[in-house]
Structure 1
Amino acid sequence: MRPPGWQPRLIALDVDGTTIHQHSPPSDRVVAAVRAAAERAVVMICTGRTVIGVGAVLDELGLASGTTVCSNGAVVLDTATRSVKAVRTFDPAKAFAALRETFPGAHLGSEHVGVGQRVTEPFPDGILAGVVTVVPEEELVALPTPKIIAYWPGRTPAETAQRAVELNVPDAELTVDHELAWVTLVPAGVSKASALADVAAELGIAREDVLAAGDGDNDRAMLRWAGHGVAMGQAPAEVKADADEVTATVVDDGLALVLERWF
């Protein structure tokens, strides 16, 4: 229960499934709501996208200052200059070995910060941002990275999530996608929540004054950490269970409905 007159001071927004739907730009209503909120609070993006993939959304929303959290918290971007402020990497060797064993036939990739992705096999068209380079797996294994991705062709998101329970990579954090047969790994201890907490601390904003909105597995920790977590209407049940509030779907401008309440 928020105290009377409460208003969020820091607002953390997921991108895909929250701010935008599929490959469409944010709706006019969402853009207006985000810009109105940004006049009276700090608004930032917390996304699984890379620094290459987030730029267009920042432009569309009119966010031109502060911090942007990318790659599920592993890469932090200066929103104004689009320069990388911090990167957390890990040795991918154990992760790749575990992914190969758990998801036979998966297409694997690792983020090349500021450039794109290095991958073992081509991914579906339009799914990866930046320059995508097919390289031998031994090259991927040798290069530290902030984020590893695995796409399991011909499988459903439910099959992938079920199999992911068997994956054991102690030095990494695992999240799954509810729309694609997709798994993401970032360094242990890294999440949207950890990066958001760092930003809040830098700004001197208490977690009780943070609002976070999202719809995916990679948003769950962030929704639990924030003083007010908002799950989108199309989010899986487990994501909704971690939130303080469930709004309408992204198609129905659920994010705007929430922000318009205060701004």
Structure 2
Amino acid sequence: MRALARSCTHMRENERVTSATRQPETPAAGIPPRLIATDLDGTLLRDDQSVSPRTVAALAAAEEAGIEVFFVTGRPARWMDVVSEHVHGHGLAICGNGAAVVDLHGGPGTHQFVKVRELARENALDAVRLLREAAPGTVYAVEQTYGFHQEPDYPKLHMEIPDNLAPAEELLAEDGPGTAEPVLKILAYHPSIDPDAFLTLSRLAIGDRANVTRSSPSALLEISGPGVSKASTLALCCAERGISHEQVVAFGDMPNDVEMLTWAGQSYAMGNAHPDVIAAASGQTDANNDDGVAVVIERMLERL
């Protein structure tokens, strides 16, 4: 279970989706949706991490109408139990902000990685070095397909026990722990910098060596491979199905959703969304605790 099967598809760093940077536009009139892409935390899930009965019914109705539903999240695959019973026919979810496509059919603890877009250790080490220089006091954790490792001073932000405690440079070394598994992303936390300021600073410092975003209300950044985002991996999945971006309806609430919302033909910021998300989306719906995703799906199905 700890070792990733060699059958995983490793996507190269130069696989980019240029259309993911498209500017927001008015939803295309008369184009029936074929796929719903929704974030989880702060979007589909209520604050208590539940999926409401209304939302469950709306997702099932969309699938019954022939519209695929993809969960597109920053969560690692092992945190997908909360929605694994709602993936319906295809069973797939995009995890780690686009770093992995995971088949959840087997249920909790038995998921399989269908695609992996890894963060090269060299790039990860560059990002750590540059961010240590730009923001002293930053601490790190390393997210792999199955493993999770962190520095000793990294706060207990996640409900799990790390596999290893060591400086990030040791965790990311070629002979470091978990070398048999690809690195999906690194997490960078700062105890005192404003979260938005930390994101801006980090993007300037790291440049094109990695993709930097955030989904937490705290100063916690998520650093993936160059060109790896929810939008670019969703675009790859849609291309495999012959689905265009005009046929996608997307939902989100935090900066890690911006590229996806910009790329999709129709997109909705939640009522509780970050200002950058509201600016990127083509529409807005109710807050996550008020079933904002279900509200849009119900109206959409009425028009079909």
TM-score (ref. length: structure 1): 0.89
Could you say what the CA RMSD is over the residues aligned between the two structures, in angstroms? 2.2
CA shift in 2, pair 1:139/1:151, >3 Å = same
| Residues 146-165 of structure 1 aligned to structure 2 (within 5 Å) | 146-165=184-203
2:112 is matched with 83
CA contact (8 A) 1:35 1:62 kept: no
State the AA in 1 paired with 2:138.
A
CA contact (8 A) 1:98 1:169 kept: no
CA contact (8 A) 1:94 1:169 kept: no
2:56 is matched with 31
1:18 is matched with 43
CA contact (8 A) 1:72 1:190 kept: yes
State the AA in 2 paired with 1:8.
P
Stretches of structure 2 lacking an aligned partner (at least 5 in a row): 1-26, 175-181
Deviation of 1:167 after TM superposition, in Å, equals 2.4
State the AA in 1 paired with 2:99.
A
The secondary structure found in structure 1 opposite 2:218 is: coil
- Rounded to whole Å, the distance in 2 between the matches of 1:128 and 1:151 is 16
The secondary structure found in structure 1 opposite 2:44 is: coil
| Residues 59-138 of structure 1 aligned to structure 2 (within 5 Å) | 59=85, 61-63=86-88, 65-81=90-106, 82-89=111-118, 90-91=120-121, 92-115=124-147, 117-121=148-152, 123-125=154-156, 127-128=158-159, 131-138=162-169
State the AA in 2 paired with 1:248.
D
Structure 1 stretch 177-186 or stretch 240-249: which is displaced more?
Answer: 177-186
CA shift in 2, pair 1:33/1:122, >3 Å = farther
CA shift in 2, pair 1:62/1:187, >3 Å = closer
1:46 is matched with 72
- Rounded to whole Å, the distance in 1 between the matches of 2:58 and 2:161 is 29
Stretches of structure 1 lacking an aligned partner (at least 5 in a row): none
How many residues of Structure 1 are paired with residues of Structure 2 in the alignment?
A: 260
TM-score (ref. length: structure 2): 0.78
Spell out, residue by residue over 1:123-179, the C-alpha distance to the aligned partner (whole angstroms, 9 max, x if none).
544625575532333322315512011121244424433543542242201112351
State the AA in 2 paired with 1:95.
A
Deviation of 1:56 after TM superposition, in Å, equals 2.2
Deviation of 1:261 after TM superposition, in Å, equals 0.8
State the AA in 2 paired with 1:214.
G
Q: Relative contact order, CA 8 A, sep 6+: which one is greater?
A: 2
CA shift in 2, pair 1:63/1:220, >3 Å = same
The secondary structure found in structure 2 opposite 1:218 is: helix
CA contact (8 A) 1:108 1:121 kept: no
Structure 1 stretch 69-78 or stretch 133-142: which is displaced more?
Answer: 133-142
